[in-house]
């Protein structure tokens, strides 16, 4: 291997640091009209009247768009496979506003100051309605968040809007009653997980212009350019062939840009006026008016026999999707489908629940996508169960967890809103990950706790996790490779680099297959006119799905070159040895350089353009696995936690680029620690977002993270490109449960609602002490 599993630098990092214009707002036409959205001050209201006449008279105001200006067509903003498993419950603008920050109308003006001034001249009269602000009481609430008749599901997802239910699902296997009867110990616990904000550093941004063919060219900070094109076409009745979506560099996504933001308004303005337009969210809009992680309540019951065999899992989940149902069903299902198979030896299991509407900021896709919520509940309860069984939690996990070559019935039953796909774990180094992690964290010297004598206790806690590698039979990625004169290649992919480094690793896969240095493969991605299709950056799919497409395209290109070389050298193709820059004839001194070959077919003889396109969809989704361990020093009096180290041992197959893979894991760990420890989206009693800026919503800083220890298991997934699985999400899943388990190991208190703040720990200890007295 020349390029794979080697320390190759990212293809774009230097240029970005040097400040080259690269992000969406950097590329807006300087003469763009500015689109500003007037947002609802009410959690739930019906718009009675809008007076925009004063605003329209202001110089520089181009137009004011209200719900009357748009086709009345429900759609979903979720960027997912089509037809989407999310309900079509959103209009570009509507006569109802469903959360504080929902879109009332859009002002279009020559510049931002004018647009803001114009908003102050618009009177909106609302009929304020009673909002649904507590998701525990949302189902069958007297207020219906979505009373409109046109909304619908694309296929059965349990959609019952009149009951405030966006989606529902249930599955079971085995005889649950019998399995619990056969259990000597049963534990039943309820956990709650909070909304989390993505806080990608680049706010959502979009701009549009018309090109010389009168087509709409849209630059968008998105994870899903092809889905954006489709949704714009469908929602605005603009023919798809009139739309080109370009994704420039994206300043972080984490799922938060896996749904439409300002694209529809900006596309409409440019399409109607012919003028360039742009809309970049303020940080307040990013917090209030984009998406959050789905808050969930997870009620879980585990049964095991005295020998420590896990027999049964019964699980009910209530998920809060907020005002709109983007990713409602699928995030909730992943809480089961990418967690339950960890313990595949159970006799019976049930997973069921509801996803409800409330008048809060919509929930949407967020790295981990349900798995982090489910993992917190299951991996916390496993430790509680072990304590009741008086069995070491490591021993218990080694006995019950999924191993290489095994399967789980869950894979076949549960898919992405539909049935799943049966598969065996061709690679699963979970046993290695666990054992190695114990060594790295120094478990035997620190478990369960060491009193440090200065008012602090050192402890360790751990959790196992799995994710997936794309969605089988749904996620498709494609790649095209073009040979140029001088013998270098263009690689075009639909795959979407949002900072995770997919341009780099896909170029590596092509370079390895074509046996050239990475500089000889020039990658260009995510342009709906110029690159082949790809679903986009989500579901941990890019390395596995798009990577396989690139690998196949490169193999095809190699075949084409061999055929050309055989023709030029007048031998059979079987005689040709492809050596990257040099082509040999077997058992002969005859050589041909790629430079000569490409120049010849470009300029001199039998001229032609060589291109190879291939695409890939998974017929399975090999999960990456990991064991995560946290070491903390915790203050016995104040509950303050110092994260000393976080050890991750990950099986993601072969790492195409070890440093970038490490970055994916560590970035996920730190986001997961933020959720585990202090990040929380808070609302006032009236439904206003309190945490709407970075003074009130805190994310981890460099001072919070002294040490991360990350290793990869030796693993080779035969179905992946060069043995790779995916790695984008797996890092985020373990921190909540690992931290909860470490806190329990330190102080004997079990925190079941995230985040695990020092205050909750102190209050739990006080409660425990009063009970013990």
Within 631-650, the residues that bind other proteins by CB under 8 A are: 635, 637-638, 640
Three-state DSSP at 327 gives coil
Binding footprint of other proteins, residue count (CB under 8 A): 75
**Residue among 662, 719, 726, 741 that touches other proteins (CB under 8 A):** 662
Interaction pattern, residues 372-411, with other proteins; x per rule: CB under 8 A: ----------------------------------------
The helix, strand and coil proportions of the chain, stated in percent and rounded to the nearest 5, come to 30, 25, 40
Using CB under 8 A as the binding rule, the residues of this chain from 696 to 735 that contact other proteins are 696, 698-705, 707-708
Using CB under 8 A as the binding rule, the residues of this chain from 11 to 40 that contact other proteins are 12-14, 16-23, 25-26
- 189/640 with CB nearer other proteins: 640
Part of the chain binding other proteins (CB under 8 A), chosen from 8-16, 297-305, 527-535, 625-633: 8-16
What's the closest the beta carbon of residue 200 comes to other proteins, in angstroms? 6
Q: Which of 721, 171, 623, 652 is nearest to 424 (CA)?
A: 623
CA distance 770 to 763: 11
With b for 16 or more beta-carbon neighbours within 10 A and e for fewer, the 47-83 pattern comes to: beebebeebeeeeebbbbbbbeebeeebbbbbbbbee
- 86/691 with CB nearer other proteins: 691
Part of the chain binding other proteins (CB under 8 A), chosen from 387-395, 407-415, 588-596, 664-672: 664-672
Using CB under 8 A as the binding rule, the residues of this chain from 252 to 271 that contact other proteins are 252, 254
Sign of the CA dihedral with 63 first, then 64, 67, and 68 last: negative
Using CB under 8 A as the binding rule, the residues of this chain from 481 to 500 that contact other proteins are 498-500
E strand intervals along 566-675: 576-579, 582-585, 591-593, 611-617, 625-635, 641-651
What's the closest the beta carbon of residue 702 comes to other proteins, in angstroms? 4
Contact flag: residue 663 with other proteins (CB under 8 A) = yes
The set of residues, in sequence order, having a beta carbon less than 8 Å from that of 692 and lying 6+ positions away, is 284, 287, 288
What's the closest the beta carbon of residue 21 comes to other proteins, in angstroms? 4
What's the closest the beta carbon of residue 731 comes to other proteins, in angstroms? 8
Asked if 477 contacts 506 with a C-beta cutoff of 8 angstroms, the reply is no
What's the closest the beta carbon of residue 12 comes to other proteins, in angstroms? 7
Asked if 256 contacts 366 with a C-beta cutoff of 8 angstroms, the reply is yes
* DSSP class per residue in 655-678: -SSHHHHHHHHHHHHHHHHHHHHT
Contact flag: residue 274 with other proteins (CB under 8 A) = no
Part of the chain binding other proteins (CB under 8 A), chosen from 184-192, 244-252, 329-337, 375-383: 244-252
DSSP-derived secondary structure letter, 394: H
What's the closest the beta carbon of residue 238 comes to other proteins, in angstroms? 29
Supply φ then ψ for residue 457, to 5 degrees: -125, 135
- 541/548 with CB nearer other proteins: 541
Supply φ then ψ for residue 166, to 5 degrees: -85, -30
**Residue among 391, 450, 577, 763 that touches other proteins (CB under 8 A):** 763
Using CB under 8 A as the binding rule, the residues of this chain from 187 to 206 that contact other proteins are 198-203
Both tokens of 55, joined, read 């605003």
E strand intervals along 281-341: 296-304, 310-322
Using CB under 8 A as the binding rule, the residues of this chain from 419 to 458 that contact other proteins are 455
Interaction pattern, residues 46-85, with other proteins; x per rule: CB under 8 A: ----------------------------------------
* Start-to-end CA span in the chain (Å): 65
**Residue among 249, 261, 446, 725 that touches other proteins (CB under 8 A):** 249
CA distance 36 to 390: 60
Tell me the sheet residues that pair with 169.
353
The set of residues, in sequence order, having a beta carbon less than 8 Å from that of 669 and lying 6+ positions away, is 628, 646, 648, 708, 710, 731, 732, 734, 735
- 361/548 with CB nearer other proteins: 361
What's the closest the beta carbon of residue 638 comes to other proteins, in angstroms? 5
Q: At what angle do helices 658-677 and 735-747 cross, to 10 degrees?
A: 50
- 562/699 with CB nearer other proteins: 699
What's the closest the beta carbon of residue 47 comes to other proteins, in angstroms? 25
Q: Which of 173, 5, 155 is nearest to 80 (CA)?
A: 155
Using CB under 8 A as the binding rule, the residues of this chain from 513 to 552 that contact other proteins are none
**Residue among 50, 296, 762, 764 that touches other proteins (CB under 8 A):** 762
Using CB under 8 A as the binding rule, the residues of this chain from 203 to 232 that contact other proteins are 203
Tell me the sheet residues that pair with 29.
none
What's the closest the beta carbon of residue 30 comes to other proteins, in angstroms? 8
Residue linked to tokens 């992690």: 437
Using CB under 8 A as the binding rule, the residues of this chain from 89 to 128 that contact other proteins are none
Q: At what angle do helices 393-400 and 371-389 cross, to 10 degrees?
A: 120
CA distances from 533 to 186, 456, 476, 492, 549 (A): 49, 55, 8, 10, 11
Interaction pattern, residues 575-614, with other proteins; x per rule: CB under 8 A: ----------------------------------------
**Residue among 353, 501, 720, 735 that touches other proteins (CB under 8 A):** 501
CA distance 411 to 423: 7
Element counts in the chain: helices (H) and strands (E): 19, 27
- 9/586 with CB nearer other proteins: 9
- 335/495 with CB nearer other proteins: 495
Burial class (CB in 10 A: 0-12, 13-18, 19+), 120: exposed
CA distance 729 to 712: 15
Contact flag: residue 670 with other proteins (CB under 8 A) = yes
- 8/302 with CB nearer other proteins: 8
What's the closest the beta carbon of residue 306 comes to other proteins, in angstroms? 40
- 530/690 with CB nearer other proteins: 690
- 146/456 with CB nearer other proteins: 456
């Amino acid at each position: 291997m020349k390029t794979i599993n080697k320390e190759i630098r990212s293809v774009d990092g230097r240029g970005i640091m040097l400040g080259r214009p690269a992000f969406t707002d950097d590329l807006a036409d300087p003469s763009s009209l500015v689109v500003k959205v007037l947002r609802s001050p009410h959690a739930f209201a019906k718009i009675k009247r809008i007076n925009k006449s004063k605003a329209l008279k202001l110089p520089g105001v181009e137009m004011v768009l209200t719900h009357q200006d748009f086709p009345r067509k429900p759609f979903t903003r979720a960027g997912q496979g089509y037809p989407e498993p999310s309900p079509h419950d959103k209009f570009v603008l509507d006569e109802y506003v469903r959360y504080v920050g929902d879109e009332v109308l859009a002002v279009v003006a020559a510049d931002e100051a004018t647009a803001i001034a114009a908003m102050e001249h618009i009177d909106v009269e609302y009929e304020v309605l009673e909002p649904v602000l507590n998701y525990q009481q949302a189902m069958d609430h007297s207020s219906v968040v979505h009373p409109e008749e046109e909304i619908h599901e694309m296929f059965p997802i349990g959609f019952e809007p009149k009951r405030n239910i966006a989606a529902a699902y249930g599955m079971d296997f085995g005889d649950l009653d019998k399995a619990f009867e056969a259990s000597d110990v049963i534990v039943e616990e309820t956990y709650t997980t909070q909304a989390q904000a993505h806080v990608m550093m680049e706010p959502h941004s979009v701009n549009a212009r018309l090109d010389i063919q009168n087509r709409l060219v849209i630059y968008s900070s998105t994870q899903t350019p092809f889905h954006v094109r489709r949704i714009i076409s469908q929602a605005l009745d603009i023919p798809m062939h009139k739309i080109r979506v370009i994704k420039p560099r994206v300043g972080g996504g984490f799922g938060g840009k896996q749904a439409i933001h300002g694209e529809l308004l900006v596309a409409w303005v440019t399409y109607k006026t012919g003028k360039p337009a742009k809309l970049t969210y303020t940080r307040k809009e990013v917090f209030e008016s984009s998406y959050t992680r789905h808050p969930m309540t997870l009620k879980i019951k585990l049964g095991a026999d005295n020998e420590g065999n896990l027999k049964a899992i019964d699980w009910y989940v209530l998920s809060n999707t907020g005002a709109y149902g983007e990713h409602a069903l699928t995030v909730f299902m992943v809480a089961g489908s990418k967690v339950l198979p960890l313990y595949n030896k159970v006799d019976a299991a049930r997973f069921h629940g509801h996803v409800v509407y409330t008048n809060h900021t919509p929930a949407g896709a967020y790295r981990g996508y349900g798995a982090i919520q489910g993992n917190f509940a299951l991996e916390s309860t496993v430790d509680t169960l072990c304590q009741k069984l008086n069995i070491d939690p490591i021993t218990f996990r080694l006995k019950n967890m999924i191993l290489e070559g095994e399967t789980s019935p869950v894979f076949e039953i549960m898919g992405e809103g539909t049935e799943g796909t049966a598969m065996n774990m061709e690679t699963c180094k979970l046993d290695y990950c666990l054992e190695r992690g114990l060594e790295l964290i120094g478990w035997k010297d620190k478990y369960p706790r060491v009193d440090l004598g200065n008012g602090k206790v050192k402890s360790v806690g751990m959790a196992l996790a799995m994710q997936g590698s794309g969605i089988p039979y749904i996620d498709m990625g494609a790649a095209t490779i073009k040979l140029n004169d001088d013998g270098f290649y263009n690689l075009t992919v639909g795959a979407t680099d949002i900072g995770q480094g997919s341009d780099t690793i896909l170029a590596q896969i092509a370079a390895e297959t074509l046996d050239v240095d990475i500089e000889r493969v020039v990658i260009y991605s995510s342009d709906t006119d110029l690159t082949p299709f790809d679903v986009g950056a989500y579901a941990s799919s890019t390395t596995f799905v798009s990577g396989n497409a690139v690998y196949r395209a490169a193999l095809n290109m190699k075949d084409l070159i061999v055929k050309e070389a055989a023709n030029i050298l007048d031998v059979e193709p079987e005689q040709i040895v492809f050596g990257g820059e040099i082509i040999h004839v077997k058992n002969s001194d005859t050589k041909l350089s790629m430079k000569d070959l490409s120049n010849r077919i470009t300029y001199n003889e039998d001229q032609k353009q060589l291109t190879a396109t291939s695409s890939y969809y998974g017929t399975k989704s090999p999960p990456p696995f990991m064991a995560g361990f946290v070491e903390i020093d915790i203050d016995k009096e104040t509950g303050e936690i110092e994260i000393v180290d976080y050890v991750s041992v990950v099986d993601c197959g072969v790492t195409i680029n070890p440093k970038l893979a490490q970055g994916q894991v560590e970035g996920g760990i730190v986001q997961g620690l933020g959720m585990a420890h202090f990040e929380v989206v808070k609302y006032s009693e009236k439904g206003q977002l309190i945490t709407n800026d970075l003074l009130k919503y805190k994310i981890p800083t460099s001072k919070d993270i002294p040490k991360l220890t990350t290793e990869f298991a030796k693993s080779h997934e035969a179905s992946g490109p060069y043995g790779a699985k995916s790695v984008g999400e797996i890092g985020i899943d373990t921190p909540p449960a690992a931290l909860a388990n470490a806190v329990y190991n330190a102080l004997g208190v079990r925190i079941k609602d995230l985040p695990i703040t020092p205050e909750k720990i102190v209050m739990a200890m006080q409660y425990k002490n009063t009970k013990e007295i």
